[in-house]
Amino acid sequence: MTRRQAVQIVKPPVTWILVADGSGAHIYTRANVEKGSQMDENARRRHPDEAFIRELVLVPGMELKTESAHHMSGLQGDAREEIKQHFIKMIAARLNEALSQKSFDKLVLVAPPKMLGELREFLAPAVKKRVAAEMPKDLTHYEGEELLQHLKDSGLESA
C-alpha cells in the first residue's frame, strides 16, 4: 500500500490598500506585472522573478466617488457632512462585502485622520481584524510609483 501525501497549496495573502478622502476612494492591490523587457520565453521560464515586477494596481470596480463630488465646494456644512458620512458608510459596506467574498486577506487604510476614525465605526469586526496598517494622510492625489513610494516612506514596506 502506498500512502498519499496531502499537498497543500498555499496562496499568498492578498492585501488591499484603501486610499481615500471625503470625495473619492481607490482600492489597490499589489500584483505581478510583466516587464516590458525583450526576454524570450525560455529565459522567462528560467528566470521567472526577472520577468515580472510588483506594482500597485487598481482593484476592478473599486474606484469610488461621492455622488456629488463636483458640487461639494458649494455645499453648506451640514449637507457636506451628510454626503461625506454617506460616502464613508458606502466604502465600509464595500469592504465588508468584499471580505465576506474573501477578496482580500489584509487591509491597509490611508485617509485623513478624521475620516479614518469615522470609517472604523462602520467596518465589520471581521474587517477591523484584517487591518494591517493605517496611515492618517490624504494621498488621493498620488498614484502608481509615487503612491507606492509614499507608502514605503511611511514604513508600509509590505503594502
Domain assignment present for 8: no
pLDDT digits (tens, 9 = 90+) for 16-32: 999 999 889 999 998 76
Please state, in angstroms and rounded to a whole number, the distance separating the CA atoms of residues 76 and 84. Answer: 12
Domain assignment present for 10: no
pLDDT digits (tens, 9 = 90+) for 7-66: 667 777 899 999 999 889 999 998 766 655 555 566 556 655 555 566 788 899 888 888
Domain assignment present for 122: yes
12 phi/psi in degrees, rounded to 5 = -65, 150
Domain assignment present for 44: yes
Question: What residues make up the domain containing 77?
Answer: 15-153
Domain assignment present for 9: no
Domain assignment present for 159: no
Q: Can you count the helices (H) and strands (E) in the chain?
A: 6, 5
Q: Is the dihedral angle over the CA atoms 109, 76, 71, 66 positive or is it negative?
A: positive
Please state, in angstroms and rounded to a whole number, the distance separating the CA atoms of residues 51 and 64. Answer: 32
Q: What is the pTM of this model?
A: 0.76
Domain assignment present for 135: yes
User: Which CATH number belongs to the domain containing residue 39 in this structure?
Assistant: 3.30.420.60
Q: What pLDDT is stored for residue 96 in this prediction?
A: 97
Domain assignment present for 66: yes
Q: What pLDDT is stored for residue 44 in this prediction?
A: 54
As for how many domains the chain has, the answer is 1
